[in-house]
Amino acid sequence: MFLTRQSTGSSGAKGYLPDGLVVALAGNPNTGKSTVFNSLTGMKQHTGNWTGKTVAYARGRYRYRGLDYILVDLPGSYSLLASSVEEEVARDFICFEHPAVTVVVVDATCLERNLNLVLQILEITAHVVVCVNLLDEAKRKKIRLDLSALSRILGIPVVGTNAREGQGLEQLQEAVSRVASGKLLADSLKITYSRPVEEAVALLEPAVRKLIPADLDSRWVSLRLLDGDSTLDRSLNRFLNTYLHQNEVLTAKIAEAKALLKKESGGKTASDLIVTAIFETAENIARRVTAAAVDQARQWDRRLDRLLTSKGFGIPVMLALLGVLFWITITGANYPSQLLATALFWIEGRLSNIILATGAPPWLHGALVTGVYRTLAWVVSVMLPPMAIFFPLFTFLEDLGYLPRVAFNLDHFFKKAGAHGKQVLTMCMGFGCNAAGVVACRIIDSPRERLIAILTNNFVPCNGRFPTLVVLATIFLGGPRGFSGSLAATVVILGVIVLGVMVTLVISKILSQTILKGFSSTFALELPPYRRPQLGRILVRSFIDRTLFVLSRAVIVAAPAGLVIWLMVNLKIGALSVLDYSARFLQPFGELLGMDGYIIMAFLLGFPANEIVIPILIMSYLATGSLMDLGCLNQLQMLLVENGWTWLTAVCVMLFSLNHFPCGTTLLTIHRETRSIKWTAVAFLIPTLTGIIICFLVAQTARLLGLA
């Protein structure tokens, strides 16, 4: 949802809401904008909801000297010239919602590029505070900035901060309050353009001024009209009901001004001249306030890049890093997993006694304990440890700035597949959760390539499937427990991931040559400076945002699913349970794919969340086999082997886990993102068919060769 005056209930006064002053937070991506936001608001923001194509923003509040402030976190953007949805949203907020103050967060290590945005915002409003963040990074890179000179040149307050350490935030709040109270309105810097642009603006501006409200900068609107920015016209319609292009006098003036500009500038376009002037101004300012040999400052980054993205080592290092990640996860998760299982099954015994002591009927005891509780216990003990280890490690790489390097390394393959290099970033998100990965596909501008990324995101195993893979790899393919075993399991998991990437590329290629024909679009990927990750923040973020979120979702789904399974196991028709009937029906199909009917059933019942596939399977087997205490992996292995599992079964289950229909949440998200039943159906069918074909081929080949 757009935050509009209506929706926030504004009294209409500039920048004021009944419950506080509106402060907008703008900035390039990767400047620590969200850290500033979280530090100021104490993490009390509503997380942005993503409806449709609208990019929503987080809002939070803080109090300073008895006044309430509402902080609005605008999407990160490099520019306000509206070449992407994020930029349009940010521009519209600053332009039409009239925040009392706009704080622009800039990266101290990359001032020139960041000033571009500052200068553009200054053209719209003078109520700006510049927050030069990441001063510690700059210091480490031996970049020295003269902030008071910057403030003098820009004519607005400039505050230096290290938001991660909480440094400078008090001064930032002070500057915001002073600008909001109107005490600090000096002459802010306005860019002077080359003569042809200035003449064209002079010709246009009087006509524009008559048509727009006084609180909108007519010079800025004139520049946009010269620039031919059609998105502004759309926004003017939406926010102000003004139809500039329907005004014939103005349209004539625009044509006249454009013609003048073209003649005076020797054929250059307005947009070139405007952008060039802004950048030249930024360059000039940056040079005046920065003291550093920039090349020297970035040496460490360059060295790291030379290793991490080098011709010989780039891809091997990437695989090795991923391998180490998995290895630590597999070895580290084993012990806590057993401990948790023991604890949770001990509780099961007690719970059982209590329920029986109350005189509850056996069916109720069965449904609650063997149904709901046991499934929950399994989900928690199997999933929690690997997630609690994997996510912080992955967040570490993310914070370090490594993921864009992965996209850089792999872009060539994606280009060949007719897809976008940024698809890699959406796949990385998919490691956490495919639904999040699908939403992340918005970073791809071309609709065709975005659709490809959405349709193939499921080929990255999310963490709901990740524990299944880890458990099976450890049991069946790792061999004996211990160092060599976990190493083998790591290699298997790594193989599964590489396979997932290869399937993604093949399917992307097929899509871009059939139903989504086309060539790859522009690719410009920023490789941000490496940052020293903050361990405390990583632990908190990965645990709260990811581990707890995913686990709670799994638990919510697992509880009712446990009940359904218990019912299916215990509702008998004749001698057989409903589950047995279903499994028998699916048995031939399962066998074709190297699995059995119960496994197929588990995948079907796991539709709400992939996390519960293994627990469902255990419940189904336990209902037919001997009941036992599933304390550790050895016993799970025994149970599976008793039910006819071989290494081939494990391989096929892993393959099918990688390649099958997305979970319910992901499909709903795909539907919301594509707004099309057709594409949602395609997203369901592609991985399912891929899985069926791959499992069939693997199972039949192995049997034919007498390997299993």
Partner 1 sequence: MSQGLIPLHRLPVGSRGRVRQINITGAVRRRMLDLGLTFSTEVAVLQKSPSGDPTAYFIRGAVVALRSQEASQILVAPVD
Q: Check residue 644 and give left, alpha or beta (phi > 0: left; psi -120 to 50: alpha).
A: left
Of 327, 534, 321, the C-alpha closest to 409 is 321
Q: At what angle do helices 483-513 and 423-432 cross, to 10 degrees?
A: 130
Distant-in-sequence, close-in-space partners of 653: CB < 8 Å, separation ≥ 6: 468, 472, 595, 599
| 264: contact with partner 1 by CB under 8 A | no
Does 527 help bind partner 1 (rule: CB under 8 A)? yes
Angle, helices 613-624 vs 578-592, to 10°: value is 120
Asked if 17 interacts with partner 1 (CB under 8 A), we say: no
Q: Minimum CB separation from partner 1 for residue 554, in Å?
A: 37
Type of residue numbered 553: R
CB closer to partner 1, 412 vs 532:
412
81 binds partner 1 per the rule CB under 8 A: yes
Rounded-to-integer distance, Cα 493 and Cα 480, Å: 17
* Alpha helices, H only, 358-462: 362-365, 374-400, 403-416, 423-432, 434-440, 447-456
> Which residue, 397 or 525, is less far from partner 1 as judged by CB?
525
* Residues near 152 by beta carbon (within 8 Å), at least 6 away in sequence: none
Residue 675 beta carbon to partner 1: minimum distance, rounded to whole angstroms: 23
Decide whether 178 or 415 has the Cβ nearer to partner 1.
415
Closest CA to 390 of 465, 338, 442, 457: 465
Q: Going residue by residue from 666 to 705, which x/- string records binding to partner 1, judged by CB under 8 A?
A: ----------------------------------------
Q: Under a CB-based contact definition with an 8 Å cutoff, are residues 113 and 28 in contact?
A: yes
Chosen residue from 148, 310, 635, 676 binding partner 1 by CB under 8 A = 310
Q: Should residue 522 be labelled a site residue for partner 1 when binding is judged by CB under 8 A?
A: yes
Q: How far is CA 571 from CA 71, 363, 367, 371, 619, in A?
A: 56, 11, 11, 13, 14
Question: Per CB under 8 A, which region of 112-120, 462-470, 633-641, 678-686 contacts partner 1?
Answer: 112-120
How does DSSP classify residue 80? Answer: S
With contacts defined by CB under 8 A, name the span among 95-103, 311-319, 613-621, 683-691 that binds partner 1: 311-319
Q: Cβ of residue 573: shortest distance to partner 1, in angstroms?
A: 59
Among 240, 397, 525, 708, binds partner 1 (CB under 8 A): 525
Q: Is position 328 an interface residue for partner 1 (rule: CB under 8 A)?
A: no
Least Å from the CB of residue 521 to partner 1: 8
Rounded Cα distance between 510 and 268, Å, is 42
Is 526 a binding residue for partner 1 by CB under 8 A? The answer is yes
Those residues with Cβ within 8 angstroms of residue 549's Cβ, 6 or more apart along the chain or in another chain? none
Stretch that binds partner 1, among 16-24, 107-115, 243-251, 375-383 (CB under 8 A): 107-115
Query: CA 506, CA 692: separation in Å to the nearest integer?
Result: 16
| Minimum CB distance to partner 1, residue 416 (Å) | 9
Q: Which is nearer to partner 1, 113 or 139 (CB)?
A: 113
Q: How far is the CB of 78 from partner 1 (least distance, A)?
A: 6
Please select the residue that binds partner 1; options are 88, 411, 449, 580, rule is CB under 8 A: 411
- Using the rule CB under 8 A, is 279 a contact of partner 1? yes
**Cα distance between residue 288 and residue 268, in whole Å:** 29
What are the residues facing 144 on neighbouring strands?
A: 291
* Amino acid letter for position 213: P
Q: Which of 140, 263, 412, 517: binder of partner 1 (CB under 8 A)? A: 412
Cβ within 8 Å of residue 122, ≥6 positions away:
128, 154, 156, 188, 189, 190
389 and 333 Cβ atoms separated by less than 8 Å: yes
Structure tokens that stand for 285 in this block: 């300012």
Give residue 298's identity as a one-letter amino acid code. R
Torsion angle, alpha carbons of 341, 342, 343, 349, to 10: 110
Under rule CB under 8 A, residue 413 binds partner 1: yes
Out of 79, 342, 534, 587, point to the residue binding partner 1 (CB under 8 A). 79
Q: What is the dihedral of CA 413, 417, 419, 421, to 10 degrees?
A: 0
**Calpha distance 625→621 (Å, rounded):** 6
**302 interacts with partner 1 by CB under 8 A:** yes
Least separation in angstroms between residue 413's CB and partner 1 is 7
Options 85, 147, 294, 488; binder of partner 1; rule CB under 8 A: 294
Which stretch in 164-172, 279-287, 436-444, 641-649 sits in contact with partner 1 by CB under 8 A?
279-287
Question: How many Cβ atoms sit within 10 Å of the Cβ of residue 201?
Answer: 22
Q: Is 301 in the site for partner 1 (CB under 8 A)?
A: yes
144 binds partner 1 (CB under 8 A): no
194 scored as a contact of partner 1 (CB under 8 A): no
Residue 366 or 528: the one with the smaller Cβ distance to partner 1 is 528
Contact with partner 1 (CB under 8 A) among 94, 110, 122, 163: 110
477 vs 474: CA distance, rounded Å: 6
451-490 positions binding partner 1, by CB under 8 A = none
Among residues 165, 280, 629, 642, the one that binds partner 1 under rule CB under 8 A: 280
**Contact pick of 323, 528, 533, 664 for partner 1 (by CB under 8 A):** 528
- Counting contacts by CB under 8 A, is residue 426 touching partner 1? no
Q: How far is the CB of 514 from partner 1 (least distance, A)?
A: 22
Candidate list 286, 384, 613, 663; residue touching partner 1; CB under 8 A = 286
Side-chain-facing half-sphere of 573: CA atoms under 13 Å: 6
112 versus 348: smaller Cβ distance to partner 1: 112
Contact 457, 437 (CB under 8 A): yes
The answer to whether residue 504 forms part of the interface with partner 1 (CB under 8 A) is: no
Kindly determine how many residues on this chain lie close enough to bind partner 1 according to the rule CB under 8 A: 47
Out of 116, 456, 458, 582, name the contact with partner 1 by CB under 8 A. 116
In terms of CB distance, is 315 or 351 closer to partner 1? 315
Nearest distance, CB of residue 409 and partner 1, angstroms = 5
| Cα 482 to Cα 533: distance, rounded to the nearest angstrom | 31
Q: Which stretch binds partner 1 (CB under 8 A): 74-82, 204-212, 327-335, 560-568?
A: 74-82
Give min distance, CB of 318 to partner 1, in A. Answer: 9
Query: How buried is 388 (Cβ within 10 angstroms: 0-12 exposed, 13-18 middle, 19+ buried)?
Result: buried
Determine which residue in the list 142, 306, 572, 703 makes contact with partner 1, applying CB under 8 A: 306
Helix, strand, or coil (residue 514): coil
CA 64 to chain CA centroid, Å, is 32
The reply on whether position 5 binds partner 1 by CB under 8 A is no
Task: Specify the residue, 464 or 529, whose C-beta has the smaller distance to partner 1.
Answer: 529
Question: Contact 27/33 with Cβ under 8 angstroms?
Answer: yes
- Cβ neighbors of 668 (< 8 A, separation 6 or more) are 435
Among the listed residues 223, 211, 240, the one whose alpha carbon sits nearest the alpha carbon of residue 5: 240
Considering the rule CB under 8 A, would residue 146 count as an interface residue with partner 1?
A: no
Q: Is 111 in the site for partner 1 (CB under 8 A)?
A: yes
Is residue 191 at the binding interface for partner 1, with CB under 8 A as the rule? Answer: no
| Complex with partner 1: residue 242 or 309, whichever CB lies closer | 309
Amino acid code (one letter) for 379: V
Among 214, 357, 524, 704, binds partner 1 (CB under 8 A): 524
Residues forming the site for partner 1 (CB under 8 A): 78-79, 81, 83, 109-113, 116, 271-272, 275-276, 279-280, 282-283, 286, 294, 298, 301-302, 305-306, 309-312, 314-315, 408-409, 411-413, 415, 421, 520, 522-529
